[in-house]
């Protein structure tokens, strides 16, 4: 997929304690949120590309998170200081809007 590297570049810039949505990344690159998810599901280097910092539009983590399911994704985010409210990431506090 031709946008793979661009998705990974954006995700690498998300700081600890922040998240982005699939839609945000899709809008930046003019691709669908589903394409973003597919690319992240195939992430070859989750140790370098923190795909656990990407959530859906309402702040929910991915049940099909490729590296252990949403329980693992939730755990990683909590360890980084992400705040959850009612099972969702608090996007008002944790959404990253930095420059790309």
Residue ranges per domain, the chain? 4-94
Q: How confident is the model at residue 98 (pLDDT cuts 50, 70, 90)?
A: confident
pTM over 0.85: yes
Fold classification of 4-94 (topology level) = Arc Repressor Mutant, subunit A (1.10.10)
62 pLDDT above the threshold of 80: yes
Computed over every residue of the chain, the mean pLDDT equals 94
pLDDT at 2: 72
Enumerate the active-site residues. 51
**Whether the Cβ atoms of residue 49 and residue 13 lie closer than 8 Å to each other:** no
pLDDT one-digit tens code per residue, 23-43: 999 999 999 999 999 999 999
% helix, strand, coil for the chain, step of 5:
45, 10, 45
pLDDT at 99: 66
């Amino acid at each position: 997929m031709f946008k793979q590297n661009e998705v990974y570049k954006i995700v690498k810039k998300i700081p600890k304690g922040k998240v982005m949505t699939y839609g945000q990344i899709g809008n930046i690159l003019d691709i669908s949120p589903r394409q973003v998810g597919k690319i992240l599901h195939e992430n070859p280097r989750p140790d370098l590309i923190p795909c656990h910092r990407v959530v859906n539009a309402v702040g929910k983590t991915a049940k099909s998170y490729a590296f252990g399911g949403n329980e693992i994704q939730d755990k990683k985010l909590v360890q980084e200081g992400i705040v959850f409210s009612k099972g969702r990431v608090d996007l008002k506090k944790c959404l990253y809007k930095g420059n790309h």
